[in-house]
Amino acid sequence: MDIRMGKQSMNNKIRDVLKSKKSIAIAAVALLVIVPFMMEHNIILRQSKYFYLLLSFICIYTIVTSGLDILFGYTGQVSFGHAGFFCIGAYASVLMSHPEWGFGKWFGITLPPILTIFLAALIAALFGILLSIPANKLVFHFLALLTIAFNYLVLLAVSNFAELTNGYIGITRVPEINIFGFSFSTISSKYKYYYLVLFFTILFLIVKQHIVNSRIGRGFISIRDNLMAANGCGVNIRYYKTMSFAISAFYVGFAGALYAHMIGFISPDTFVQNTSVIFITMLLFGGSGNLLGPILGATIITTIQESLQPLADYRMLIYGIVILIIILFQPKGIVGLGKNISESMKRRGGEGNA
């Protein structure tokens, strides 16, 4: 009897932890803040920027997948073209802040990068609104094809307008972000840029939760769950779809701008169609329609991606297999798997009480 009671108590504790998504999210953020400070005392990691760059990539891709989740997970709109918004955000921010290209080349003026990343996100949101005009009339595979075409159009634009973007060669010496004289350079600092992107990641996650819990979020969810019923209840379908595209594009454009100023170099090769597939893989792997899924997906897939550098030629094949497995066996991702485990423990606990 005591063994059974102990086992039941343990199951209940595990179930409570799995159900507490906010606690898990808070713990994850705490780790992301504390671990780098702890690692600074390790001589090996202190001499290497790789650890902080990896964490910065994870944060940036968390913003991307969170934005994609608003469109796909909460509104039910498929997109294989978010690398296009990522590209727009990156190039827009660089062209407004670079002294040798864009504003600097044509008008002799440049804007501070901390301002251009927000302006670039707004430009990406504008393109999201424009894309939503034809997208509002399409569903499923037709919508997917439209977003793929959008991605290719963006790539063609940045590749062929060489006077503006330097074409396939790309743009080097991207200006670093400077706030009140405090430099966030990945060259001079190992961790400052990481904490900057971590701050924005937390901010965007908080904003996302406020959005999905608001009237706008309820409009998104009603469209995702039953488009006909939502229309019948008087939900403005066009308005909410457009809003979803705009918010999603803003998130991804902002992440693209952060990425450009972190790497210090951009070229069309960074934003190919494969990048959109990677974004989708991250979201599906972690689980869509929740707070934790995009964080888990971005963290795990980014780490795996870095580990698969020797298998770069087969990377897209591996992603394709991962997507297929998720769709067939675990469509709700890791978060869904956690829910299944929690429900299984709950049923076992009920049987034990009986």
Residue 9: partners with Cβ closer than 8 Å, 6 or more residues away: none
Cβ atoms of residues 70 and 208 within 8 Å = yes
- Give the SS3 label for residue 184: strand
Query: How far, in Å, CA of 24 to CA of 144, rounded?
Result: 33
How many other C-beta atoms can be found within 10 angstroms of the C-beta atom of residue 155?
Answer: 18
Q: How many CA atoms lie within 13 A of 19 on its CB side?
A: 11
Nearest Cα to 90, choosing from 256, 233, 226? 256
According to the model, what pLDDT value does residue 139 have? Answer: 83
Instruction: State the chain's maximal CA–CA distance in angstroms.
Output: 81
10-residue stretch averages of pLDDT, the chain, 354 residues long = 46 49 59 57 54 89 97 94 96 94 86 96 98 92 94 94 90 89 68 88 94 95 92 92 98 97 92 90 91 91 82 77 80 75 65 56
DSSP-derived secondary structure letter, 87: H
Cβ atoms of residues 62 and 201 within 8 Å = yes
Residue 294: partners with Cβ closer than 8 Å, 6 or more residues away: 62, 65, 66, 68, 69, 282, 283, 286, 288
How many other C-beta atoms can be found within 10 angstroms of the C-beta atom of residue 182?
Answer: 10
**How many residues make up the chain in this entry?**
354
Please name each of the domains of the chain with its CATH number. 15-353 (1.10.3470)
Query: How far, in Å, CA of 89 to CA of 95, rounded?
Result: 10
pTM, full prediction: 0.86
Query: How far, in Å, CA of 62 to CA of 202, rounded?
Result: 10
Q: What percent of the chain has pLDDT over 90?
A: 52
